Chains A and B, each alone.
Chain A
Amino acid sequence: MNRPSDNPDFRQSTATPPPRFGGETSSSTLLNERLAALPRHDRDAMLEQSTTVELKLGEVLAEAGQPAAYAYFPVGGIISLLASVDKKTTLEVALVGFEGMLGLSLALGAEGAPLRARVRAAGTALRIDAATFKRLLENSPEMRADLNRYACAQLAAIAQTAVCTRFHLVEERLARWLLMIHDRAGSDHLELTHGLLAEMLGVRRSGITTAAGVLRQRGFIKYTRGDITIVDREGLEAASCACYRIVR
């Protein structure tokens, strides 16, 4: 059994992320927002059946079209949902952090994942196997209603991305992405390579280098190889497209 309070790794990994959930118990502040939203009985059942796992940078948690073996509720860390642009390029169409869950397709009655899911900020998640998750979901109308709303929010996020990628400059989109990661990372230092950013934004690495150069020149960020530091968050907000304020 892996209750958050029993697990030192869990505590450590959640020490920094913003505990934004307004749960009624103190333990719920350690949790993922989707789990925190559940009635206590349902939440306890989920915690009892789940295992705390590390999300390793770059790890692929689901492949498009392949059966999803687990549902993940991130506590720290971020998972990218990636669509393929062509054989070499992918685009992050939505992300999953402590506010969400990976495995919506299970809640929507499917076995296969719709998109590739890849860890793009290391952290921790509560993992529960697909069959158990479906069984618990069956018994919790509250969780079903919550995840249906979450599905709508994810659809809206994808829609926003679809239009954002059509109209906005790479540097505006990069600023937006850095802010979204910053919101979920709880630290000003983001472990991000240009290659990983290129994969998320669906552009060539050289496009990222140019856009990051502009943001650095304006004093919003600093970076060394594989590490970006947010220096001026307000400046970054001004440089990002308005999409950031709509889908955070």
Chain B
Amino acid sequence: MQNRLLAALPPDESARLDPHLTLVPMTQGMVIDDAEDHLYFPVDCVVALLYELSDGASAEISLVGNEGVAGIGLSIGGIPTLNRAVVQTAGHAQKVRATVLHEEFNRDDKLQRLLFGYTRALFAQMAQTAACNLSHPVHQRMCRWMLLTLDRVVSDRLVMERDLVASILGVPTHEVDDAVAKLARLGAVSGSRSQMTVLNRPQLERLCCECYALVKHESERLLHPVSHHKLRSII
């Protein structure tokens, strides 16, 4: 398994970047701080980008799996944008120093186009999360979040600390329990406090608000324009 942005680089760009990549383990709950000056390209882990308000309230604004990179502000603008990211599904990531990646980005080559595409997908995902956070009930937001997570892992089993889920969804832990209980009652998941298994994905999709489908559709449109361009260049 590989990070899809890195995998899409042409050989010469890979050759320049590879010596600067370090494969590091990402443990669940690990916090990535922008101040750290590194970016992480998830390989098989999932990172939740959280935005924390000055009064301490925080909630998830998007998920990053192997389709993306945590620390996009550092790579395209050379400035940190998101103030906290937390590993929600353990695995590995390719770690790279921000200055190295920013320099490579400034070569105006394939990496730049890939990161621009990812930035656009992030715009779409964050905007929809804002809308979802505003008005949809917790169990539906949980469906959205579970489906987006499932798309980024190989398993149908999600091992989750309820405190972590609560901080990601921005709700008290008892509301997480209520939402899991509701989804279990409706036959979508089976779950205990620390582990959830998705029993019936179509049911999860039915119970979810439209936000999941919107984000998925936009991400696919924005992240895979390659085939589109190829087609055009052939024509």
Contact = CB atoms under 8 A, between A and B. Distances in A.
A160 B81 CA distance: 11
B51 A151 contact: no
A80 to B, nearest CB: 12
A85 B126 contact: no
Interface in B105-138: 113, 116-117, 119-120, 122-124, 126-135
A95 interface: no
A3 B51 CA distance: 41
A163 B127 contact: no
Interface stretch (A7-15, A42-50, A54-62, A106-114): A106-114
Contacts of B128: 83
Given A148-B76, A155-B126, A163-B61, A202 B131 contact: yes
Interface stretch (B2-10, B52-60, B172-180): B52-60
B169 to A, nearest CB: 9
B51 A162 contact: yes
A162 B130 contact: yes
Interface in A100-151: 105, 108-110, 112, 114-115, 148-149, 151
B54 A152 contact: no
From B59, B73, B82, B131, residue with most partner A Cβ within 10 Å: B131
B51 to A, nearest CB: 4
Q: Is the interface of B mostly helix, strand, loop or mixed?
A: helix
A241 B133 CA distance: 17
A143 B208 CA distance: 41
Contacts of A164: 53
B79 interface: yes
B187 interface: no
From A109, A164, A166, residue with most partner B Cβ within 10 Å: A166
Given A93-B126, A114-B123, 4 more contacts: A115-B127, A151-B76, A156-B81, A243-B53
